[in-house]
A and B are shown apart, each in its own frame.
Chain A
């Protein structure tokens, strides 16, 4: 029993970084007032670039390149939304669709349809220590990052302006701060985090880029952000919970294969997504308030 719990938690910690980083990235972007449903695409870019780069260079460097790929896409999103006032949801979905196609195309053109050759995973530390041991640095970073982002948003000058820009950008502009620049920085940094989340899939959770990565995790990250009421700590907790649902699925099928005779494989595969759906449907309406100016381009003429 204890062994099972240990395995479950350990597997949760293994799967969590991808969701946690992506959810934090989404929080950062949306607190500034820019809707970010492009997380899925940014994660895919991060996963692909990190895996491909790690074929020819040390894996940590690959991770950094993966982050930059996510940030580049986010910068594109920010540019469309802020400079051209594009519809933020449409821009995000466009990024998802383009990355889905581009990832598949590049994968099939250069490697095999199923995935890249395997790479050297990030080093796992402290094996032998129960639960916390045997993970990559990304897991530990994912445990610390929510608190760091919380501090940034609540306790720094940048965070104060960020919150204000998401609630009432006119107030920020009237005090002589550029709303556009603030939002651009926030969205791009959000992309950095989404890229990191994607990279952690291909270099830590697995050891290569698979054709369907991140398989909806980006959308779950957005759901985690909503469920966490747009706060870093809440979003990370929700992301960890979703990761636990995933671990439960893997744990069930591997440790108790007889359940497969009762419950079809497909239902188990859908488990984390069903959990997400149930939680969101059960959330009290109005309980988690989105930033007031979310989704609206800043218009200096409006009061």
Chain B
């Protein structure tokens, strides 16, 4: 994909457009050949307007000055052709993620894209926004454009594609049509072997005590929030990015101060909580951004395993580091969680994303937590790692741990959670129990619809 767009250069082979072999040395070349790309992480300038972002790089001018009116006209015309609405004069950082994606699409089309590459476009969208996106792309393909959709969501490709190419370890391993295949077959092709789906068995709910209780908690980004997570239960938190889910996880782990209300962990009430106190109460945290909050890339694997418990056995003896104990415990965890390579002194940053995440999960579970706060645990992982991580979470919940799972991936929430709460603008906007979940209804609530 990056080769197609000229960001990376092929070591061999050739690219052909309209049957003609051509070299793509840079994004300019790609744009000139009619390739447009919508990255998973948008390349929009947040403090510029929609119109300014769309024309960046090929700006209309009048009398030497930048012609904003012409730019606005361009955006309006493209939107009309595709049948959606965008305020061309709005600043991009004020738009929803779905709208920002539309800006990216307009931007690509404006440069004359005939081949549109979408990289994981549905990862951050609500079901409604996803429908909208696929309606637009279908429109485009009917108008004669090519759309390349890169995704790990099987449902998306099955619903959307005319042809499906399955890639594994940099090779194309199969090409199928959606009518001739099923999700299970595709998954098998992707991992190269039979899959066992970690479908959540019904949990032994009911009699267990709530371990975590929030009573009217307010904080920056949260308003008067009350909820409880019972021991042995996975509570899923759904919502569109930026509606207070991250803040909720930070409040529970002691990373964000409460402004009102209190929370109860086990038998203790807290109106202010520090991360150390939370940990002492048995709260473990698998944060969203592991590079930022869960690991130190330049330290070794075993040093990362000791982080947070470096003063306790088996990682320390008195004032000194217990090297042998640390090595032994690390080796044990690497084995139990199938982290590769099995090298305690490898640099953490040299591990693949999936193995880093597995190690973070291993470390947090090793603290024998009573509450596990998990945010976006499988983002950006390959399907085998996704399953491994999910399996561990389920196991732990069934063993009696309370789990608070925040994910932007609705499928993940539905696959794992016993109960689902929807957050909108820092408040709860609906609670669903497993089996009584309607994806449409969840989507409506995520967008703020009232009950």
Contacts and interface: CB of A to CB of B under 8 A. Distances in A.
B44 A171 contact: yes
Interface stretch (B55-63, B133-141, B299-307, B398-406): B55-63
Contacts of B57: 161, 172, 175-177
A167 B46 CA distance: 8
B225 interface: no
Contact of B48 (A155, A157, A164, A173): A164
Contacts of A160: 48, 52, 56, 59, 66
Nearest to A301: B7
A160 B53 CA distance: 9
Contacts of A159: 66
A163 interface: yes
Given A160-B59, A167-B47, A176-B57, A303 B65 contact: no
Given A171-B56, A175-B56, A155 B66 contact: yes
B77 to A, nearest CB: 19
Nearest to A175: B57
Contacts of A155: 65-66
A172 B53 CA distance: 9
Interface string A151-194: 00001110111011001101111111100000000000000000
B64 to A, nearest CB: 7
Contact of B27 (A156, A157, A168, A173): A173
Contacts, number: 68
Given A160-B48, A168-B46, A175 B58 contact: yes
A161 B39 contact: no
Contact of A157 (B39, B40, B61): B61
Contacts of B53: 171
Given A164-B45, A172-B56, A176-B57, A157 B31 contact: no
B372 interface: no
Interface residues of B, number: 27
B66 A157 contact: yes
A168 B65 CA distance: 22
Q: A157, A163, A300: which has the most chain B beta carbons within 10 Å?
A: A157
30 contacts: A155-B65, A155-B66, A156-B65, A157-B59, A157-B61, A160-B56, A160-B59, A161-B56, A161-B57, A161-B59, A164-B48, A164-B56, A167-B45, A167-B46, A168-B46, A171-B43, A171-B44, A173-B27, A174-B27, A174-B39, A174-B43, A175-B56, A175-B107, A176-B26, A176-B28, A176-B57, A300-B7, A303-B39, A303-B40, A303-B43
Interface of B: 7, 26-28, 31, 37, 39-41, 43-48, 52-53, 56-59, 61, 64-66, 107, 111
